[in-house]
Amino acid sequence: MAGQRMTEGDLRAAMRDPRYWQPGHPEREAWNNWVSEGYSALVREEQGGGSGAVTVRPYTRTSDGRREQVGGHSRSRPESGGEEAISEALNQRSLDEARQIAARAEEAARRAEQGNVFVAVIGGFGDSKWGHAPGLLRDQRDEIGSRRAAAFQHFEMDRINDAIVAQPAGTRIILIGHSWGADTAAQIVASLGQRGRTIDTLVTVDPVGRGVSDDFLQRVSAGAGRWINVQAVGGGTLDPSNLIARVGGPYGDRPAAFATEHLRSPYSHAEFQRMLLHPGSSNRPLLVDILGP
């Protein structure tokens, strides 16, 4: 790209290229720099490059509501500094349209990427009463966006497995579990991994369950491309939800040696959404980091 001369047509085409608008594209930064440099060079060229002459390429303009074709021509550079020549040569209307097209394409790409994600939120013991899992999908619908998402109870292991298997090939699977629901999510991931199907992201929020061994935690780790474990360390020993978690058998800090990330969150066991909205290792809200673009 370096050193390549850019015409007006090149500029419009470059702004439609995925490298210009697609989030996360490995060449996006370099491509945007090239477009900016080409734009600047084109402006300098249309000003005559200091030579006192302006070359205007053919373009289409709108006059009195009618579109008309203007042929290419050369003329002396205006004393005003070239504003008229720049306006005609760059055809700002066309550039604005190209930017709008690029913006729409970027939004479409973002929605398509979101649509290729399935988020399963699994509630803990008593969630049929407290509604932490469906509450997350309701309260954070702006963050969830157009992604496919569903809430489950911790005892619905078969239903969760069926929902995962039913997703189209290439779907990014995200499991978010709380308390006993986190233990259910971990068991599902460990089982799927042994059958050769790993999921993309597992998030266990203050998991609670019995019979947790190092072998089990190793299988959980192997079944997820990324495993984020959140340990609730706030609320104190007399907090009712912390007492209930202790009775159920908290994982505590044991996943720290197996998870991709282990976060100690300053909330009590019951504060599910607060733990997901607290900044994670990226200094962004954990839920935003999990969902991605």
Name, in order, each residue with C-beta under 8 angstroms of 51's C-beta and a sequence gap of 6 or more: 77
Same domain, 257 and 155: yes
Q: Which residues contact 163 (CB under 8 A, 6 or more apart)?
A: 118, 120, 150, 152
pLDDT at 269: 96
Q: What percent of the chain has pLDDT over 70?
A: 68
Residues 247 and 205 in one domain: yes
Domain of residue 76: give its range: 8-110
Nearest-5° Cα angle at 285, 279 to 291: 140
How far is the C-alpha of 257 from the C-alpha of 246, rounded, in Å? Answer: 21
> Do 133 and 241 lie in a common domain?
yes
Residue 151 is assigned to a structural domain of this protein: yes
Q: Based on the domain organization, do 91 and 192 belong to the same domain?
A: no
Res. 145: pLDDT tops 50 = yes
Asked if 105 and 160 sit in the same domain, the reply is: no
Q: Total domain count for the chain?
A: 2
Is the model's pTM score more than 0.85? no
Report if residue 2 sits inside a domain. Answer: no
The answer to the question of residue 3 being in a domain is: no
Which of 57, 75, 110 is the C-terminal boundary of a domain? 110
Q: Is 200 helix (H, G, I), strand (E, B) or coil?
A: strand
Is 42 found in the same domain as 185? Answer: no
> Is 216 a residue whose pLDDT tops 90?
yes
Residue 95, classified by CB atoms within 10 Å of its CB into exposed (0-12), middle (13-18) or buried (19+), is middle
User: Does residue 1 form part of some domain?
Assistant: no
For residues 228-266, b (16+ Cβ closer than 10 Å) or e, as one string?
A: bbbbbbebeeebebbebbeebebbeebbeebbebbbebe
pLDDT band with cut points at 50, 70 and 90 for residue 167: very high
Domain end (from 110, 127, 145): 110
Average pLDDT, rounded, for the chain: 80
For the chain, what's the residue count?
293
Cα of first residue to Cα of last residue in the chain, in angstroms, is: 27
Residue 28's pLDDT is 77
In this structure, the answer to whether residues 240 and 106 fall within a common structural domain is no
For residues 223-250, give the mean pLDDT. Answer: 93
Task: Give the CATH number of the domain where residue 167 resides.
Answer: 3.40.50.1820
Do 281 and 236 share a structural domain? Answer: yes
Residue 254 has pLDDT above 80, yes or no: yes
pLDDT 10s digits, 25-82: 787 777 777 777 776 666 555 555 544 444 444 545 545 556 656 555 444 444 444 4
Q: Does residue 126 sit in the same domain as residue 78?
A: no
